Amino acid sequence: MKLLLLLTSALMAMATTPSLASLSLSLSQTESLRAIKDLTSTFAQLSQSRDYPAMAALFSPSGILHFGNTSITGTQKITSFLKGNINSTLDTLIFATPLINLAADGRSGRGRYNSWRFQGDGKGATKLQGGIYENEYHLMNTTKDDAKGEWKVEVMRYYPLYEGNYEDGWRNYGGRDFGAVPPFHYTPDEAGLPVLPGGEIVETREEGMEELTSRIEVLNDEDEVKNLQHAYGYYLDRRMWTDVEDLLGDGAGAGGGWGGVFTVNNVGSWSGKGGVRKALERWMGPEGLKQGVLNEHLIFNTIVSVRGSGGSGEIIADSRGIEVALIGDRATSRAEWRIGFFQNSFVKRNGTWQFFNITIAPLVVANYSTGWGKGGTFPKSTITPQLLAYSRMHTITPSPTFPSNTTTNLTELERRIRRSAAYDGAENISNAYGFYIDFIDGAGCFNMSAIHHTLGHKESPFTGFYQTQKRVLDACTASYGNSSIQSRSSISFHWRPQPVILISSDGRSASLRARLLQPATARGNNSAQIRGGMYHDQMVLDASGIWRLWSVTIDEFYWNSGNWGTGWNGVTPRAANVSNPGPRDLTKQFPPDLILTGMGERERGFQGGTGRFTAWPDIQKMWFMYRNPVSGREPGGQYNGYWPGCVPCQHRPEWRMEKFGWEEPPTGPVMW
């Protein structure tokens, strides 16, 4: 009470100081968004244990599942529909690239997702599915205390877009052309709006100051830990073992002291100095890549849960998620799928999060040529999956060390909430871009450009950068024309999973690096393809409080399958004397403001850039916009480079967000 009085007088002193009630509202809004994402990720994770009743239990009592034109209600019917017409021994359902809307009253939300589902019955039958979900979520009144309410799925609406078996790969659903775009639940403006407007403060629950501070710290901690988890995945892809060791902090690479355990189920456990590197080498090969080596570890549906304290009194967090690994070595003709889950723990030391324990549980390891239909080549997993709490509120175990950075300064608390809201806002707008590009046409160009800031800029692949929203639109129209496409025979999807998101200290700008994962489909059999690239973006909060893209760079492609039958090992290397196919004609039709060849070293090897075209199975240099999040090390090795911040800004410094009043986000470890 004394504290509140103190706060009230501080409040009167500063007209702009936020009220406790408004802080409490924005906190519960961000918590709700995350509860919706975690609920959906839990649904996905449960598929790997084939726990269909538990998945069905995540629907509300009135919940409904629409699969194409079929509608299913009731727990029993949903359970048996989820199980499907294949007796799976392997099942992995993925929900990627969330774009979540929270309604103004905070009691319902909508989410758009990309999805994959891979199944096999161990006797030869397989099923691959891909499509888009548009879901609705409701906050149940389980208790009188709103903040303890539980989010449930009210409507799960699946638009099947491609499907097939392992032998033939996926192809367009029903073998048909694509008609209308699966409807969007949001407009371009809404894609960047933290919460739909019109909300009023209905919540009257009174949090103590300490509770408020610790709930905010949980959100901030989740951002840091999720970044660590996702950054780790990218280091695996490039076999950057030194960087993985750095993530373990406390001198795992340089002097010992690391007390964690690195476990690969059915392979071994390692700990201590040198142990981690042994684990990495044993399970994934030596440090660094060479021609024809693929080590892609796609991470999906990561949930992070912060525990108040571990046995040591330190603050601990856990992560769990789905891993789909694409492994290959052309030289030895090895190509494999490795599908499973990870469950890791982290510790916060001196204000910096670092990895502690790592557990990889492969559920299937399958030779590419035979696939997982017969169950693969690996023993059955013996690790018990630990589901993390998806109903996030009040899950913290009180401890003397938590919250670790208390304050009674409401402006400071508002800043901290804003930073976490920015994390979700940046992810939203990133995924909005991918969803618009999938079905791009003359009409789609409007929506795609509208999510850019009026003064932002974007790369058109193999061409160059266009600055201002207007020129981004015109470049798009110059490529795709002015009219809508009514029917498409093929689509290359633009997933942007596994983001690493760096937020400025004021929470008004962000840098985001995410994978470009491109599943492609067409009408015929053996037309499925899959490709990988990288996005390097920046986002800003505009004057009306809407998130917009400030800078978009696309590095493509790092790897691809030739066709489904031969996979990523079936791509023939280019002859040494083959020249760069050069930029698109767009360079002449609608000249960019910065052409790729003007980017020098940064675009070396990419199509339209400088130098020899470096295409898979050759290894193209990979760029990072951040340093190691624990040690601050710059990415190293022959094939990795460091290029901080807005990608074209080293050549166009006048495009930097700082010139327009936004703070440049950090590029390495910081203490907030």
Residues that bind ligand NAG (CB under 6 A): 33, 68-69, 85-87, 100-102, 141, 160, 165, 168, 181, 184, 186-187, 190-191, 193-196, 260-261, 310, 316, 334, 345, 347, 349-351, 356-357, 367, 369-370, 405, 407, 409, 411-412, 415, 421, 424-425, 428, 436, 443-444, 447, 477-478, 481-482, 525, 547, 671-672
Give helix 20-48 / helix 209-237 axis angle, nearest 10°: 40
56, containing H or E segment: helix 52-56
Q: Minimal distance in Å, beta carbon 292 to ligand NAG?
A: 15
Instruction: Closer to ligand NAG by CB, 186 or 643: give it.
Output: 186
Instruction: Closer to ligand NAG by CB, 76 or 407: give it.
Output: 407
Instruction: Closer to ligand NAG by CB, 392 or 604: give it.
Output: 392
Peptide bond preceding 617 in cis form (omega within 30 of 0): yes
Instruction: Closer to ligand NAG by CB, 43 or 158: give it.
Output: 158
Q: Minimal distance in Å, beta carbon 262 to ligand NAG?
A: 10
Q: Minimal distance in Å, beta carbon 638 to ligand NAG?
A: 27
Rg, the chain, Cα only: 24
Q: Minimal distance in Å, beta carbon 454 to ligand NAG?
A: 18
Q: Minimal distance in Å, beta carbon 105 to ligand NAG?
A: 8
> Which of 293, 282, 344, 594 shows the shortest CA–CA distance to 459?
594
Tokens of 620: 């193209």
Q: Which residue is nearest to ligand NAG (CB)?
A: 68
The whole-angstrom separation of Cα 363 and Cα 375 is 9
Instruction: Closer to ligand NAG by CB, 332 or 638: give it.
Output: 332
Instruction: Closer to ligand NAG by CB, 54 or 443: give it.
Output: 443
Instruction: Closer to ligand NAG by CB, 138 or 656: give it.
Output: 138
If you ran DSSP here, which 8-state letter would residue 83 be given? H
Q: Minimal distance in Å, beta carbon 431 to ligand NAG?
A: 9
Whether 662 and 655 have beta carbons less than 8 Å apart is answered as: no
Peptide bond preceding 557 in cis form (omega within 30 of 0): yes
Instruction: Count the helix, strand and coil residues of the chain and give each as a percent rounded to the nearest 5.
Output: 30, 30, 40
Count of CA atoms in the C-beta half-sphere (13 A) of 386: 13
Q: Minimal distance in Å, beta carbon 7 to ligand NAG?
A: 12
Burial of 367 (0-12, 13-18, 19+ CB in 10 A): middle
How do 491-492 and 509-521 pair as beta strands? Answer: antiparallel
Instruction: Closer to ligand NAG by CB, 157 or 536: give it.
Output: 157
Bridge partner list, 338: 325, 365
If you ran DSSP here, which 8-state letter would residue 414 be given? H
Tokens of 169: 């790969």
Q: Minimal distance in Å, beta carbon 350 to ligand NAG?
A: 4
> Which of 561, 252, 219 shows the shortest CA–CA distance to 413?
219
